[in-house]
């Protein structure tokens, strides 16, 4: 499945300088340094290197600490989306349009569904089956292989364990990895970074 989403708002090109914390990036645009929200907690070491050209989007809300979001990175001749909010929007649209064949048989679609102490991205249902769906954003690719995660993820392991539990209780359980770049041909769990995630998956 290849999907596209329209970028709303004004965009700027800039040059990445540094990342003071997980959700803040400093980007040079002409002669200014713009603090920008980075909507992705992943490490992204191979993408966010000083001097890399990036795409900023002007924020819609006026009461934020930063005026821009860093949403894209130019890497190896392509733009890599680094906005981890985008995959859920893409998947919701695809579910509504029945574009994912394996998940096309559900007429009830509920985002952000609570199950026990866990919140899954989607609850899907029809007259005879219920499905819990978790969506993961993937930005790391090595030699054509998309890899997740790019950092240890206790939250990701917990999601998969709870999906296993739900399956034993009669739910259908799925994890959908959305690769936000065009140079991947296959997917694999990143055992080098988090072998436990691969085991529970």
List pLDDT tens digits, range 11-46: 999 999 999 999 999 999 999 999 999 999 999 999
Task: State the pLDDT confidence band at 182, using cuts at 50, 70 and 90.
Answer: very high
- Note the pLDDT of residue 156: 94
Res. 4: pLDDT tops 90: no
- Average pLDDT (174-187) is 96
What pLDDT sits at residue 1? 56
Gyration radius (Cα) of the chain, Å: 18
Confidence of residue 127 (pLDDT cuts 50, 70, 90): confident
- Domains of the chain from N-terminus onward: 11-81 (2.40.50.580), 86-200 (3.40.1350.60)
141-173 residue pLDDT tens:
999 999 999 999 999 999 999 999 999 999 999
CA distances from 111 to 5, 114, 122 (A): 18, 9, 4
Q: Which residues contact 169 (CB under 8 A, 6 or more apart)?
A: none
Separation between Cα atoms, residue 174 and residue 4, nearest integer Å: 22
pLDDT-wise least confident of 22-26, 62-66, 122-126, 196-200: 62-66
For residues 48 and 36, is the Cβ–Cβ distance under 8 A? no
pLDDT of residue 8: 74
Question: CA–CA separation, 200 vs 194, rounded Å?
Answer: 11
Contacts (Cβ under 8 Å, ≥6 apart) of 99: 1, 3, 93
| pTM (two decimals) | 0.90
Q: What is the DSSP annotation of 117-156? A: TEEEEEEEE-SS-EEEEEEEEE-EEETTEEEE-SS--HHH
Between strands 145-148 and 186-189, the pairing is: parallel
Q: What is the pLDDT of residue 60?
A: 81
How confident is the model at residue 5, as a pLDDT?
62
Q: What is the mean pLDDT of the chain?
A: 94
pLDDT digits 0-9 by tens, 69-85: 999 999 999 999 999 99
Residue 3 has pLDDT above 80, yes or no: no
For residue 62, name the pLDDT band (cuts at 50, 70, 90).
Answer: confident
């Amino acid at each position: 499945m290849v999907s596209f989403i329209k970028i709303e708002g004004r965009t700027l090109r800039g040059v990445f300088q540094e990342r003071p914390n997980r959700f803040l990036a400093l980007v040079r645009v002409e002669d200014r340094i713009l603090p920008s929200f980075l909507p992705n907690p992943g490490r992204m070491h191979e993408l966010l290197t000083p001097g890399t050209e990036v795409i900023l989007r002007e924020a819609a809300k006026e009461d934020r600490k930063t005026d821009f979001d860093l949403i894209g990175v130019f890497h190896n001749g392509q733009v890599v989306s680094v906005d981890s909010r985008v995959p859920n929007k893409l998947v919701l649209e695809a579910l509504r349009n029945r574009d994912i064949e394996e998940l096309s048989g559900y007429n009830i679609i509920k985002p952000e569904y609570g199950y026990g102490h866990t919140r899954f991205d989607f609850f899907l249902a029809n007259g005879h089956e219920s499905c819990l769906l978790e969506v993961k954003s993937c930005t790391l690719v090595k030699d054509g292989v998309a890899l997740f995660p790019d950092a240890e993820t206790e939250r990701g392991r917990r999601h998969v364990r709870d999906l296993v539990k739900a399956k034993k209780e009669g739910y259908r359980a799925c994890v959908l990895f959305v690769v936000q770049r065009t140079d991947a041909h296959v997917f694999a769990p990143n055992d080098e970074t988090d072998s436990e995630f691969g085991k529970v998956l």
